[in-house]
Structure 1
Amino acid sequence: MGYAVVLGEALVDLLDAERDGEPVYRQAIGGGPLNVAVGVARLGGEVQFVGSLGDDVLAGRIRAFLADVGVGLAGAVTVPAPTALAVATFAGPEPDFRFYGEPPSYGLLTADDLDADLVAGADVLYCGSIVLLQPAVLAAARRAWSLATGLRVFDPNVRPRLLDGPAALAGLREVVAEFAAGAHLVKLSTADAALLYPGEPVEGVAAYLRELGAATAVVTLGAAGAVVAAAGADPVRVPAPKVRAVDATGAGDSVMAALVADLLVDGEPVEPAGWHERVAFALRVAGLVCESAGGATAMPTRAEVIRRFTG
């Protein structure tokens, strides 16, 4: 089994909470791509995180956490900036994130910073999330995409608060089309799909991503499961298991982590049914993540997933 490279952001989440009747913020290591990297490692895959990390105590905690869970840092660079913060409040079904830090510590990776051999040697390359809104990192992601010799997976992980008007949304839509054209797998959430392609049914969005060039497209639907569009088959809905959800943070990232981990083990499925089975497993991973608080810290092992959903 080879290794995956996950290119994207690592930051610190401040999660709105309450203690002794007073509002407080609970600190958690986060960033969608970081969650994916941790999820892959917890599921038994070898993974390297590629991105820019700050030069402060919080960045030290991120490095220590990643090292502790087995995520490699050979492609991570340290930049002279405080660690970016994402303040999350919970009012609707999806957390509302506001981002702090200028320039953002995660947005300073350049194309020249890339370890070309590390990227080219990966069996799976993940790119995506909010780093794509940073010109320097977008250039690095494009270079990584062109260097990749293995499977390429993509997740835009859209954060509306970071989009400054219709022009920014249109620009992101173009970036999604660009990366989807060369992707073996694209994953969107329902919220991503609604923002990028308003008014389109999720099956239509999944089919459109395949028309753009993606070999397989998955749109996650929260508690309703996911839509899978694979070559040679119409989009299919895969149900999610019933769980006792307490915190959905990182659930979508865990779906991608599970899919990447299985790509490392067995490559791409030959038949659409193989994708349906893998997505069903990924949804069980996400269900287990939802049953405990936290994003990266909630990522389970394969044994924990099997234990929870068998018997």
Structure 2
Amino acid sequence: MGYAVVFGEALVDLLDAECDGAPVYRQAIGGGPLNVAVGIARLGGAVQFVGSLGDDVLADRIRAFLAAEQVGLAGTITAAVPTTLAVATFAGPEPDFRFYGEPPSHSLLAPDDLDVALVEGADVLYCGSIVLLAPSTLAAARRAWSLSGRLRVFDPNVRPRLLDGPAALAELREVVAEFAAGAHLVKLSTVDAELLYPGEPVEGVAAYLRELGAGTVVVTLGAAGAVVAAADADPVRVPAPKVDAVDATGAGDSVMAALVADLLVAGEPVEPAGWHERVAFALRVAGLVCERAGGAVAMPTRAEVVERFDR
């Protein structure tokens, strides 16, 4: 089995919580791509995280956490800036993020910083999330995309708080089309789909991304499961297991992690039914994540998924 490269951001989440009746923030290591990398490792895949980290104590904690999770850091650089903070508040299980730190510690990896051999040697390359919004990291992501000759997966992971008006959204929509056109797998949420393509049904969004060139498209629907568009088959809805959700942070990332981990083991399914089975497993992974607090630390092992759902 080969390895995956996950290109994107790592930061620190401050999650809205309560202690002795008073509001507090619980610190958690996060960032969508970091969650994906940890999820892949916990599901048994070899993975390298590629991005930029700050030079403070929080960045040291991120490095130590990733090392402990068996996530490689060979392609990660250090920038002389503080670690970006993502402050999350909740109205139900879904978090609302606001980001603090200028310049963002996660947006400072340039194209020339890429470890070319590391990217070229990966069996799966993941790109996406908020690094698409910074010129330097977008250019680096484009270079990584061009270097990869194997499986490419993409997740726009849209953060509307970081989009400065309709022009920024239109620009992101063009970037999403660019990466989707060269992707073997695109995963996005129903929230992403509504922001990028307002008024379009999720099945229509999945079909559109496939028309652009994406091999398979998965749109997650929260508790309702996911829509899967694979090969030339009509989009299919795959149900999610019923769970007692306490925190949805990282749930979508865990779907991507599960799909990448299976790509590392067995490559792309030949038939759409194979994708449906893999997405069903990924939704069980996400269900277990939702029953736990926190993003990266909530990622389960395969044994834990089997224990929870397959008894």
Partner of 2:3: 3
CA contact (8 A) 2:202 2:227 kept: yes
Partner of 1:236: 236
Partner of 2:123: 123
- TM score, norm. by length of structure 2: 0.99
AA of the residue aligned to 1:86: A
Shift of 1:92: 4.8
Partner of 1:53: 53
Partner of 1:199: 199
Q: Is 1:281 paired with 2:281? A: yes
Q: Is 1:150 paired with 2:150? A: yes
Superposition RMSD in Å: 0.6
CA contact (8 A) 2:32 2:250 kept: yes
Shift of 1:150: 1.2
Q: Distance in 1 between matches of 2:113 and 2:197?
A: 33
CA contact (8 A) 2:66 2:72 kept: yes
Shift of 1:288: 0.5
AA of the residue aligned to 1:44: G
Q: Quick one: percent identity of the two aligned structures?
A: 86
Partner of 2:189: 189
Q: Is 1:24 paired with 2:24? A: yes
Moved over 6 A (4+): none
Shift of 1:93: 5.3
Q: Distance in 1 between matches of 2:211 and 2:232?
A: 12
AA of the residue aligned to 1:209: L
Q: Is 1:261 paired with 2:291? A: no
Q: Distance in 2 between matches of 1:263 and 1:172?
A: 27
Q: SS state of the match for residue 277, structure 2? A: helix
Shift of 1:94: 2.6
Q: Distance in 2 between matches of 1:31 and 1:83?
A: 12
Q: SS state of the match for residue 252, structure 2? A: helix
Q: Distance in 2 between matches of 1:286 and 1:232?
A: 27
Partner of 1:139: 139
Q: Is 1:94 paired with 2:94? A: yes
Partner of 2:299: 299
Where structure 2 has 5 or more consecutive residues not aligned to the other structure, the ranges are: none
AA of the residue aligned to 2:276: H
AA of the residue aligned to 1:2: G
Partner of 1:217: 217
Partner of 1:65: 65
Q: SS state of the match for residue 241, structure 2? A: coil
Q: SS state of the match for residue 81, structure 1? A: coil
CA contact (8 A) 2:13 2:86 kept: yes
Partner of 1:44: 44
CA contact (8 A) 2:93 2:245 kept: no
Where structure 1 has 5 or more consecutive residues not aligned to the other structure, the ranges are: none
Deviation sequence 1:127-172 (CA, Å, 0-9, x none): 0000100000000000000000110000000000000000000000
- TM score, norm. by length of structure 1: 0.99
Q: Distance in 2 between matches of 1:295 and 1:98?
A: 16
Shift of 1:22: 0.9
Partner of 2:77: 77
Q: Distance in 2 between matches of 1:96 and 1:303?
A: 31
Q: SS state of the match for residue 63, structure 2? A: helix
Partner of 2:271: 271
